[in-house]
Amino acid sequence: MHIGDNRPANILLGQLVTSDLHLLQPHLERVGLEKGVFLSRSGEPIRYLYFLHSGVASIVSNRRDEVRVELALIGKEGVTGIAGLLGATSAPHETMLQVDHAYADRVELSCVTSVMDTSSSFRHLMLRFVQTVLIQISGNAAANVYDRLNARLARWLLMCHDRVEGEDILLTHEFMAAMIGAPRSAVTTALHDLESVHAIHTQRGRVVITDRTGLEALAGAGYGTPEAEYRRLIAPFGKSRNQQPQDREIG
């Protein structure tokens, strides 16, 4: 039996069976989050996991040469701190929030691992989510090698769009450039290209998605696989009009 009509905004929490929710819920703490806050730091102990109800978090590489590139996005479909779900106590990456005025249910990692030890259904759900993030990371790697900048930017905007309410994405050119590993000037040019075909409209610190279908066509094969895997393994997700119903695996 699942939670029922009173589902939280976080999709992953909404998929918990009632018994698992009862195990986890007493340990959840609702918190507000502001843009730029770090949900975990490179090399530091992972104390909390965050089930986001709004906002988008970026898992970012933290190389010794200070080059920072986004590895994956997590929003209302998931939970931060996947290294902790796999038994690690820290990770060489950092997780930061992209947008202002988000909120999440925060829970100590030790509580989550305790519930994973107690409940096989909860453990299977968490590990299925980890699988979708790993597929997203591999997709990012392939896109960075094979796709042109316009396609990579279109893919990234689609992934952000899937995780926010409405059509507006509040992000600066500088931030987008850092996240996709491209010069700011090149990202500005790519944004103009996407705007010229009416896929998006740009304002200062804001991108508005005006033609989702056109943006998906520009992203090509780089977009869609992690989202389809999430729908197959966990629940409906994303704003694509072309998504097909998926049979979810039973844990």
pLDDT at 243 (0 to 100): 59
| pLDDT above 50 (res 136) | yes
Q: What is the CATH number of the domain that holds 185?
A: 1.10.10.10
| pLDDT above 50 (res 189) | yes
pLDDT at 99 (0 to 100): 79
Q: Is residue 80 part of a domain?
A: yes
List the one residue out of 230, 221, 157 whose CA is nearest residue 195: 157
Q: Rounded distance, CA 172 to CA 160, Å?
A: 13
Q: Is residue 109 part of a domain?
A: yes
Same domain, 164 and 117: no
Confidence of residue 220 (pLDDT cuts 50, 70, 90): very high
| pLDDT above 80 (res 193) | yes
pLDDT tens, position by position, 40-63: 999 999 999 999 999 999 999 877
Asked whether 77 and 113 are in contact (CB, 8 A), the reply is no
pLDDT at 59 (0 to 100): 94
Mean pLDDT of 233-240: 92
Regarding predicted confidence, which is higher, 67 or 96? 96
| pLDDT above 70 (res 1) | no
Q: How many domains does the chain have?
A: 2
Q: Is residue 238 part of a domain?
A: no
- Residue 65: which region, alpha, beta or left (left: phi > 0; alpha: psi -120 to 50)? alpha
Average pLDDT over the chain reads 89
Same domain, 18 and 138: yes
3-state secondary structure of 234: coil
Asked whether 39 and 84 are in contact (CB, 8 A), the reply is no
Q: Determine the angle formed by the axes of helices 149-163 and 184-196, rounding to 10 degrees.
A: 80
Same domain, 188 and 134: no
Calculate what percentage of the chain has a pLDDT beyond 70. 91
Q: Rounded distance, CA 249 to CA 247, Å?
A: 7
pLDDT tens, position by position, 57-87: 999 987 766 667 889 999 999 999 999 999 9
Confidence of residue 4 (pLDDT cuts 50, 70, 90): very low
List the one residue out of 42, 35, 105 whose CA is nearest residue 76: 105
Q: What is the CATH number of the domain that holds 24?
A: 2.60.120.10
Q: Is residue 243 part of a domain?
A: no
Residue 198 sits in which domain range?
147-222
How far does the chain reach from its first CA to its final CA, in angstroms?
13
